[in-house]
Chain A
Amino acid sequence: MNLKDITYNYLFKATELSEINKFNRDINLDIPVVFAFRSTCSVIAGIDDTISYIEKYSNENSIKIKIVETSCPGLCSFDPVIGVKIPGRTLILLKNLYYYEVFSVFDSILNHFLPDTKLILAQIYDEKYNSWPEVPDFFSLKQLKIQKRNILKPINTYSPISITDYFAKNGFKAFAKVLTKLTPNEVCSIIENSELKGRGGGGFFTGKKWRKALENNNNPKYFICNADESDPGSVAGRMLIETDPFRLIEGMLIGAYAINASKAIIYVRNTYTLAIDRLKKAIEQTKSAGLFGDDIFGSGINLNIEIVTGPVAYVCGEETALISSLEGSRGMPKPKPPYPSDKGFLEKPTVVNNVETIFNIPFIILNGAESFKQTGVKSSYGTKLFTISGKVDYPGVYEIELGTNIADVLTAVCDDESLNSIKAVHIGGPSGGFVHPDKFYEKLVFNDSKNKSNDIWFGAGSFVVLNKSNCIVDVCKYFLDFDVNESCGKCIPCREGTRVLYDILKRISERPVTTSKHETLQRFKGVTQLEEIAVVMQETSLCGLGQNAPNSILTGLKYFRNEFEEHIYEKKCDAGVCRDLKLYSINIENCVGCGLCVKRCPADAIIGSLHSAHFIVQERCIKCGNCFKICKFNAVNII
């Protein structure tokens, strides 16, 4: 049977897929099976070397081992994660398994001994098999318990690039249902009833958007997946594509059907090589399976999917800019209205949805809107992926039920020590802001910016944890620098505003040239200016980049005003990050002229002859602090 026939029988004749249920087949093999949880993050951590050492182990010892490449569970601090299933025993997950550990670990495990505990993550309990003693159950880990994995599977034992593996997970059943049982109108209604909101930052109702495009009969229409994912600090979309490219395709097929589009386009940033590779393979197989093309399974529906790789510019994540980029122009935003659903790609009605939004679609279609609304809280149903990084012990991509509070998330991603030293969380990337510990009880929900009491806006889900070694002013400056570089320059409030804000921050994070009262006043005036400029930018910028660029500064000033003031008045950066605030000088009383600091100064900034007092030439000093550290006579002062 060819793939098309298999697909037809499976989807429309409900044939048993015994030959397809790969997981069970693999797990019952009478040879050891290794699951390599391979995604970009684990590749970076070195999983490819680990895999080749496992192959080497297998060859050198003439032991047959089946290696299944799947995708990462999203717990990056444990990478590379490898699962080993030996006959008769439960699947055990090993963490931080670098290549040099492979031989000894496999020597143990294949002989039913546990390896070094620092390499053991967990096991997947299954009463059919003997469990490993004293190895925790994967689902009991706090990093898993905080999550509600609806669109990510907790652990992937399926191959992400095999359509038959996807079938074994009910793959394409939602699309088959749509094709045979539902009209586009009905599909739109289901999505409307689910109250699904866009996960790309805007939080707009997906169903509403689809409905508008459906009602517009200016054909041909387009359905676009926004996989540009340009927010620094967010990799959730990449993770989703690498994990389950078929689900994205299925969601897009449904979306395109719902609005009567004849073409679906995935716009993915071209740096996502592994995601693109898997997506291409998945598209190819979907096509061979007959799930898109002309007259899909005799339904009379023609639909094509194409993948376009974006040449990277942050602002291209904005939907109108993305459309300009697809049209071969510079990716600059356009004023809305007209909305893309009226006039989008090539002036035709177009729906643009985020990857994560689309991932929710198959579930809603299969299980119904009410079922989707079982998760989350009112007006924020479902889950959201957060990319958690910074000063935490267990960074990664976490799927969190909406309505969960920040404190609970932090407890799951930190051990006690780092938990106690958290100073703030920065949520939402360049458009987001700081959350003060006093607000950690707040729930993570969609937030229309009019609601001022809760100013937490999670955007695309970047979640960066900061501790006392991080400086709030510096983080603001980092995001503003990003905005200055990425502003497309089309409108003045954003182009000039980001620059002015950046300059003000730069000024207060550097030592003033003079110590005059006037200079201090200027620095202070900068802060009051920050607020004025921010308002202008929010109200007059064309797109979200300019409108939201001041958010970090505003929340920073609101909750950490003291840090700004310290920088201005005391010229002090407690975190020690703003080095340019410091002034190193040598106290001639204490200096014995040993010359040690001269040798250590990387900038040739210290002069003086042996046995007489030395001197620092400020213009040359790069504030590295070496002289302060090396001097045995306490002669170097930091002012």
Chain B
Amino acid sequence: MEEFLKNLPASVSKTELLKILQEFQDKYGYLDNDFIHELSKKIGIQPGKIYGIASFYSQFRFKPRGKYIVNLCSGVACHINSSENLINEFTKLTSLKDGETSADGKITLELVPCLGGCANSPVVKVNDKYYTKVTKTDLLKIIQGLK
């Protein structure tokens, strides 16, 4: 993290804020408290304010995320094709709700708007891999495969 901060230019304008947060999250997975505090000193915006801005956007996370990020699509085409049932099933199987990470740090559930595969909905994405026309049975298999 220190290195990340060191690599930032001496003075940063507010228009760069979101970009910096994105870069940090890309690298470390989430925005941790220390970082927000250090950044605050650097760009002269209160930590609470940075947090307020970041939390407005769904991209930013404030807790470590699991090894596998499971995205269940909650877009409209998937909804029409019963994605709600999959979401309930997932919660039943793992007791995870949207945004939660399993105790062993393996799985994080994140509901997302349209993943872009509406023709083959419902769509599930695990890290970079997509699964299409997913049924409850498929979902169970997917979860079992997350070792």
Q: Which chain A residues have a beta carbon within 8 Å of chain B's beta carbons?
A: 40-41, 43-46, 76-77, 79, 230, 232-233, 235, 238, 270-271, 308-314, 316, 325-332, 346, 387, 389-391, 395-396, 426, 429, 462, 464, 466, 470, 475, 478-479, 488, 602, 622
**Is the pair B80, A390 in contact by a Cβ cutoff of 8 Å?**
yes
**Is the pair A312, B119 in contact by a Cβ cutoff of 8 Å?**
no
With A233-B76, A391-B80 already in contact, the answer to whether A77 and B119 are too (CB < 8 A) is: yes
Closest chain B residue to A313 by CB distance? B57
**Is the pair B118, A330 in contact by a Cβ cutoff of 8 Å?**
no
**Is the pair B75, A396 in contact by a Cβ cutoff of 8 Å?**
no
**Is the pair B130, A43 in contact by a Cβ cutoff of 8 Å?**
yes
Contact mask for chain B residues 66-80; partner A; CB cutoff 8 A; 1 contact, 0 none: 000000000111011
* CB-defined contacts of A391 to chain B, threshold 8 Å: 80
Cβ of B30 under 8 Å from chain A: no
Closest chain B residue to A622 by CB distance? B88
User: CA separation between A79 and B58, bound complex, in Å?
Assistant: 30
User: CA separation between A329 and B15, bound complex, in Å?
Assistant: 8
**Is the pair A330, B77 in contact by a Cβ cutoff of 8 Å?**
no
Cβ of B53 under 8 Å from chain A: yes
Give the contacting residue for B80; candidates A77, A316, A329, A466; CB below 8 A.
A466
With A235-B116, A325-B18 given, can you name 19 additional A-B contacts, CB distance below 8 Å?
Answer: A40-B117, A44-B116, A46-B130, A76-B118, A230-B113, A311-B21, A311-B54, A311-B57, A326-B15, A328-B14, A328-B17, A329-B14, A329-B53, A331-B56, A387-B118, A389-B76, A470-B80, A475-B80, A479-B76
**Is the pair B15, A327 in contact by a Cβ cutoff of 8 Å?**
yes
User: CA separation between A76 and B15, bound complex, in Å?
Assistant: 38
User: CA separation between A77 and B119, bound complex, in Å?
Assistant: 6
Cβ of B126 under 8 Å from chain A: no
Cβ of B41 under 8 Å from chain A: no
For the complex of A and B, the 7 pairs showing the least CB-CB separation, nearest first, are A76-B119, A44-B117, A311-B57, A311-B59, A389-B77, A328-B14, A328-B17
**Is the pair A309, B120 in contact by a Cβ cutoff of 8 Å?**
no
With A238-B116, A331-B56 already in contact, the answer to whether A270 and B22 are too (CB < 8 A) is: yes
Give the contacting residue for B120; candidates A44, A327, A330, A426; CB below 8 A.
A44
**Is the pair B113, A232 in contact by a Cβ cutoff of 8 Å?**
yes
User: CA separation between A43 and B130, bound complex, in Å?
Assistant: 8
Cβ of B94 under 8 Å from chain A: no
Closest chain B residue to A485 by CB distance? B58
Cβ of B9 under 8 Å from chain A: no
Give the contacting residue for B118; candidates A327, A346, A389, A479; CB below 8 A.
A389
With A309-B22, A391-B80, A464-B76 already in contact, the answer to whether A396 and B119 are too (CB < 8 A) is: yes
Interface size on B, residues (CB 8 A): 37
**Is the pair B120, A311 in contact by a Cβ cutoff of 8 Å?**
no
**Which DSSP category, helix, strand, loop or mixed, fits chain B's interface?**
helix
* CB-defined contacts of A271 to chain B, threshold 8 Å: 112
* CB-defined contacts of A76 to chain B, threshold 8 Å: 117-120
Cβ of B145 under 8 Å from chain A: no
Cβ of B92 under 8 Å from chain A: yes
With A45-B132, A76-B119, A308-B19 already in contact, the answer to whether A313 and B80 are too (CB < 8 A) is: no
Cβ of B16 under 8 Å from chain A: yes
Q: Nearest chain A CB to B15's CB is how many angstroms away?
A: 5
* CB-defined contacts of A270 to chain B, threshold 8 Å: 22, 59
Closest chain A residue to B88 by CB distance? A622
User: CA separation between A308 and B16, bound complex, in Å?
Assistant: 10
Give the contacting residue for A462; candidates B60, B76, B88; CB below 8 A.
B76
With A464-B77, A466-B80 already in contact, the answer to whether A45 and B117 are too (CB < 8 A) is: yes
User: CA separation between A177 and B114, bound complex, in Å?
Assistant: 39
**Is the pair A311, B77 in contact by a Cβ cutoff of 8 Å?**
no
Most A Cβ at <10 Å: residue of B21, B58, B59, B118: B118
* CB-defined contacts of A395 to chain B, threshold 8 Å: 77, 118-119
**Is the pair B14, A44 in contact by a Cβ cutoff of 8 Å?**
no
* CB-defined contacts of A330 to chain B, threshold 8 Å: 52-53, 56
Cβ of B108 under 8 Å from chain A: no
Give the contacting residue for B123; candidates A44, A316, A326, A470; CB below 8 A.
A44
**Is the pair A312, B59 in contact by a Cβ cutoff of 8 Å?**
yes
With A311-B18, A328-B14 already in contact, the answer to whether A233 and B60 are too (CB < 8 A) is: no
Closest chain A residue to B59 by CB distance? A311
User: CA separation between A238 and B115, bound complex, in Å?
Assistant: 11
Cβ of B101 under 8 Å from chain A: no
User: CA separation between A395 and B113, bound complex, in Å?
Assistant: 18
Q: Nearest chain B CB to A468's CB is how many angstroms away?
A: 12
Q: Nearest chain B CB to A358's CB is how many angstroms away?
A: 21
**Is the pair A233, B114 in contact by a Cβ cutoff of 8 Å?**
yes
24 contacts between A and B (CB under 8 A): A40-B116, A43-B130, A45-B120, A46-B130, A76-B118, A76-B119, A79-B119, A79-B120, A230-B113, A233-B76, A314-B113, A328-B14, A329-B14, A330-B56, A331-B57, A346-B15, A387-B118, A389-B121, A390-B80, A395-B118, A464-B77, A475-B79, A479-B76, A602-B92
**Is the pair B132, A44 in contact by a Cβ cutoff of 8 Å?**
yes
* CB-defined contacts of A396 to chain B, threshold 8 Å: 119
User: CA separation between A327 and B57, bound complex, in Å?
Assistant: 14
* CB-defined contacts of B132 to chain A, threshold 8 Å: 44-46
User: CA separation between A41 and B80, bound complex, in Å?
Assistant: 18
Q: Nearest chain A CB to B92's CB is how many angstroms away?
A: 7
User: CA separation between A235 and B117, bound complex, in Å?
Assistant: 10
Give the contacting residue for B115; candidates A44, A316, A326, A331; CB below 8 A.
A44
User: CA separation between A76 and B88, bound complex, in Å?
Assistant: 27
